[in-house]
A and B are shown apart, each in its own frame.
Chain A
Amino acid sequence: MALTSERKEELTKLTKQIRRHIVKMTHHAGSGHPGGSLSATELMTVLFFDHINVDPQNPDWEDRDCFFLSKGHCTPVYYSVLAEKGFFPVEELMTFRDVDGRLHGHPCAEHIPGVDISSGSLGQGLSVANGVALAAKLDGKERRSYVMIGDGESQEGQVWEAAMTTAHYNLDNVCAIIDWNKIQLDDFVENVKGMKDFAAKWRAFGWHVVEINGHDLDEVDEAFREAKRIKGKPTAILAHTVKGKGISFMEDTHKWHGLAPNDEELELALKELV
């Protein structure tokens, strides 16, 4: 069941809206992480609007699917998606990183509806996703566990400890989304500590691997469907993405990993997102 052209149009509009939020929020705060938020925009939008089973009116609903943002610095896209989904008012996005607000630089489970784990120290999300998935199996529940991991983040050893656990317990209710944008804080991942054959690594760890263009809505949608179909092993969606995607001067550079646009740059960015 492919995306209808109407749905694609709606999702495309949403991704533009979310990208506008991302640049406006980081501009408002004068800091934050636009690059890795823009690369994950299609992945997050399709997941939250078409696949994940959550209820914004009842964020702690006990049969909900869980999502964990392991690359916790990408709050601009996370908060935008949560707000557009209805977990909290969209206007609140403009309190991003404010000292008296709850939309901290990195997500805080205690304060933000829809956030199930605090993150920001890289590498921890998949273990947590496994825990929820184990409990779901134990309780005979259908609930699924999603986690978004960065490619640079995959230098953290815990990612691979956890990847072994997911496969060992045959947790086919876990879906890891790898935002493979090839860039980390300092430089290209390849120049810092390269992933070599990244897909082979996940396969060797016992995962079903789907390699997609993470900006193609059809491919993203189909990847989540495939992940649900695969039984007996977890699925890793390795999504090739472009850091800073959607704003020409932010694309494919580490410069915009953790830099906020100034007034002029914001204006330029918004012009590209009409």
Chain B
Amino acid sequence: MTVQKAPREGFSEALIRLGKQYDDLVVLDADCAKSNMTNFYKDNFPNRFFNIGISECDLVGTAAGLAIAGKVPFANAYANFLTGRAFDQMRISVCYSNNNVKIVGHNAGTSAAQEGATHLPLEDISLMRSLPRMTVIVPADSLEMEKAVEAAYHFEGPVYLRVGKLPVPIVTNEDDPFEIGKAIKYRKGSDVTLISTGIMLDETFKAAEQLEQKGIQAEVLHVHTIKPIDVEAITTSAAKTKRVVTVEEHSIIGGLGSAVAEVLAEQQPTPLKRVGTNDRFGVSGKMPELLDFFELRAARIAKTAEELIDIALVK
């Protein structure tokens, strides 16, 4: 049985570890400290935690000021409110001003669960990806989250980190390398490339196994950094397998699927299908129910890969 752990737990633990090492690390939250688990940082470092209240725009602007004064601020809020409401503050006070602010979008994807459509961030990656200078990181599980937090702290410049709330299987390994901008090839294959981001790595692994049973060898590429995207890893794999399926817990508009499509269309034209949420809002439901509802499951990934292989064969 795979160990399950909430990505926010790994986030919180890594933050405290870094806070002990580096006294320039400050944490801000927008009245979701308990939910985002930044309250543990507050317990450890009460002077270096600021609750800015329910005001995401002010949260991001304040973080920019702290960065100007030499701090490394992690600004936390629910991903949808943060990236939607405070987009302009990220654009001007953070990215255009080139301030070293780490933006942490919580309750990511389907982990907002029963809160429903208002709280389900399915557009955040798309928004963040469009900002010049913004690095966008979407870890697969709690373990990779810890590495991502550390990398984000050491990275000089604005970073958006997407953090899920509810437990998901730990599918990465302690020794897996983590380097911002470097995709990780988890499985070698020759027939199709499955490119996943975030927690969809789990279902993507399962899809690869299902495909194998049908004699299809799927390559699995995990893209934890959506921007800057690992062009070389994507084009090299696509050149080999000639078919690509992208998998994300996010809208197929503007997220991983779009980013990969842009790379392939220009540099390695390859048949591509995108698995994600369609151009629609979410609903209320438990996380596994939502993953079913949106068909963010191995069966659909495998089926999509098969369709692509059929199309390619016809051609």
Contacts and interface: CB of A to CB of B under 8 A. Distances in A.
A141 B64 CA distance: 18
A164 interface: yes
B66 A109 contact: no
Contact of A119 (B57, B60, B92): B92
Q: Find the residue from B92, B98, B99 having the highest chain A CB count within 10 A.
A: B92
Contacts of A127: 57-58, 60-62, 64-65, 89, 93
Contact of B53 (A134, A158, A164): A164
A131 B57 contact: no
Contacts of A80: none
B58 A158 contact: yes
B55 interface: yes
Contacts of A161: 53, 55, 57-58
Interface stretch (B68-76, B275-283, B289-297): B68-76
A161 B66 CA distance: 17
Given A124-B93, A162-B58, A165-B58, A135 B88 contact: no
A132 B148 CA distance: 27
Interface in A75-96: none
B120 interface: no
B91 A138 contact: no
B65 A158 contact: no
Contacts of A157: 57
B92 A121 contact: yes
Given A117-B93, A127-B93, A138 B63 contact: no
A118 interface: yes
A252 to B, nearest CB: 30
Interface stretch (B44-52, B104-112, B260-268, B301-309): B44-52
Interface string A210-225: 0000000000000000
Contacts of A135: 26, 65-66, 68-71
Given A121-B91, A124-B92, A138-B47, A132 B58 contact: no
B97 interface: yes
B65 A165 contact: no
Contact of A132 (B26, B57, B65, B88): B65
Contacts of A120: 92
Interface string A88-127: 0000000000000000000011100000111111011111
A132 B63 CA distance: 9
Chain B interface helix/strand/loop/mixed: helix
Contacts of A109: 96-98
B67 interface: yes
Contacts of A145: 65
Interface string A155-190: 001100110110011000000000000000000000
A134 B70 CA distance: 12
A135 B91 CA distance: 22
A124 B65 contact: no
Contact of B61 (A110, A128, A133): A128
Given A128-B61, A138-B47, A118 B96 contact: yes
A122 B55 CA distance: 16
Interface string B83-101: 0000011011100111100
A120 B62 CA distance: 17
B92 A118 contact: yes
Given A108-B96, A110-B97, A66 B61 contact: no
B65 A128 contact: yes
Contacts of B60: 127
Nearest to A139: B69
Contacts of B69: 66, 131-132, 134-136, 139
A162 B61 CA distance: 9
A125 B69 CA distance: 15
A129 interface: yes
B62 A117 contact: no
A246 B157 CA distance: 43
Contacts of A129: 65
Contacts of B93: 117-119, 124, 127-128
Q: Find the residue from A131, A136, A139, A164 having the highest chain B CB count within 10 A.
A: A131
Contacts of B53: 161, 164-165, 168
A117 B48 contact: no
Nearest to B51: A168
A130 interface: yes
A169 to B, nearest CB: 8
A164 B58 CA distance: 10
A61 to B, nearest CB: 12
B68 A124 contact: no
A197 interface: no
Given A117-B64, A118-B93, A135-B71, A110 B58 contact: no
13 contacts: A62-B70, A66-B65, A117-B97, A118-B93, A121-B91, A127-B89, A128-B65, A131-B62, A135-B65, A158-B58, A158-B61, A161-B58, A169-B50
Given A116-B68, A138-B47, A169-B50, 19 more contacts: A66-B68, A109-B98, A110-B98, A117-B64, A119-B93, A121-B88, A124-B88, A124-B93, A127-B58, A127-B61, A128-B61, A131-B63, A131-B66, A131-B68, A134-B50, A134-B69, A138-B71, A158-B89, A161-B57
